[in-house]
Structure 1
Amino acid sequence: MKYIGAAVWLFAALPATTLAQEPDGAPVPDEVKALAGCWSGSGSVMGKPVAIGLDARSITGDALFVVDVDSHALADPEDRYAAHLIFGGKTVRPEDGDAKNISAFFADSFGGDFTGVGTGSVRPDGFEVAYAYPDASFVNRWRVAGDAVSWTITARTGAGPEEPFATYDLVRAACAGA
């Protein structure tokens, strides 16, 4: 027990800069960090109109980036949905060229059985990440243009074509508690 206490004091005494991202770690791409701030808008999920809000910020000493999502069906405000998306840079192997790779994790109000790990890359007008689930791959495409964000999600089962799943249009909004 005394060793655990000593370890806690040792970590508490470290300067904050030692908790920053490892020097060789891949930074979060700027295209992802462009989402920083709060956003509000509307969209549709499987044809159902929804209102949506995002709160996006750097976490873990800027080594990762999180987007917290809250939405509800317009026809029934009690029909709520929440998600927690985490993005990080992914080190590019030399054979991958200049690509800026993204690693990602998706967790939502459907619980632990529906979490997903994703990979993606930067595009000229934003970024995209695909999350593999047992029944389908969900491709999330993000576009940030000034004070507007569009986020589309398509689903692909097997070798079939992508099918629309959700689409959102958001504008910059004041953050709660700001």
Structure 2
Amino acid sequence: MKQVLWAMALLAAAPVGAEESTPVPENVRRLEGCWRGTGTVMDKPVTIVLVVHPVVLGAMIAVDADSVATADPDDRYAAHLLLGGGKDAAAVTGFWSDSFGGTMTATGSGTVRPGGFDIGYRYGDATFVNRWRANGDELGWEIVARDAAGKEQPFARYALTRAACPARDERD
């Protein structure tokens, strides 16, 4: 019984000591909605669909990306990203998870840029820099692998347009 009371006391006290939530930067919020497009991943042509929506009481947004290689419909990839604000108004924070599983997750940090934002995720010896640029109903998403010396190699590039969102029961 003491353990239950202790747990209830901790839960009740948590909001008192909690920090104010940091708002999602407007340049990140511009992604909200649904997008369809094409691109290349390591020179392989793909189609891609994004579903972007607020989560955790609007403190972050979730990006669900699904892509399929145009040459092989069985060659599929999915990612689930969480994006939010940081300590200052220009900061962007994030978490990357994908269909490769738990060992390929990463936290990210970045900053607001004109027309969008950049955020990097560290994997091994490289940082994968994601450059998001939204202009009305058009969205560009580029990913480059940056090594320790700062040299960048193209990894993926997508061109998307705003689209109707699928019904919730149509999503995986």
**Residue 97 of structure 2 corresponds to residue 83 of structure 1:** no
Q: Residue in 2 aligned with 1:96?
A: none
Q: Which runs of 5+ in 1 are unaligned?
A: 12-18, 93-98
Q: TM-score, normalised by structure 2?
A: 0.86
Which amino acid in 2 is paired with 1:68?
A: D
The Cα shift of 1:23 comes to 6.5
Question: What per-residue deviation string (whole Å, max 9, x for no partner) do you get for residues 30-84 of structure 1?
Answer: 1101001000000000000000000001100011111000001000010000000
Considering only aligned residues, what root-mean-square deviation do their CA atoms show, in Å? 2.0
Contact 1:156 1:163 in 2 (8 A): yes
- Percent identity (aligned): 51
| Correspondences of 1:118-157 after superposition (within 5 Å) | 118-157=108-147
Q: For residues 24 and 144 of structure 2, what CA distance do their matches in structure 1 show?
A: 24
User: After the TM superposition, which residues 88-107 of structure 1 pair with which residues of structure 2 at under 5 Å, given as runs?
Assistant: 88-92=84-88, 100-107=90-97
Q: Which runs of 4+ in 1 moved over 4 A?
A: none
1:25–1:91: 8 Å Cα contact kept in structure 2? no
**Distance in 2 separating the partners of 1:23 and 1:124:** 28
CA shift in 2, pair 1:32/1:160, >3 Å: closer
Residue 76 of structure 1 aligns with an amino acid whose one-letter code is: D
The correspondence for 1:158, drawn from 133, 137, 148, is 148
Q: Secondary structure at the match of 2:74?
A: coil
Rounded to whole Å, the distance in 2 between the matches of 1:74 and 1:30 is 33
Q: Are the counterparts in 2 of residues 41 and 170 from structure 1 also a CA contact under 8 Å?
A: yes
Partner of 1:3: 4
Cα separation, 2, equivalents of 1:79 and 1:43: 14
Q: TM-score, normalised by structure 1?
A: 0.83
Q: CA deviation at 1:124?
A: 1.1
Give the 3-state SS of the residue equivalent to 2:57 in structure 1: helix
Across the two proteins, how many residue pairs are aligned to each other? 160
Q: Which residue of 2 aligns with 1:49?
A: 45
1:40 pairs with 2:36: yes
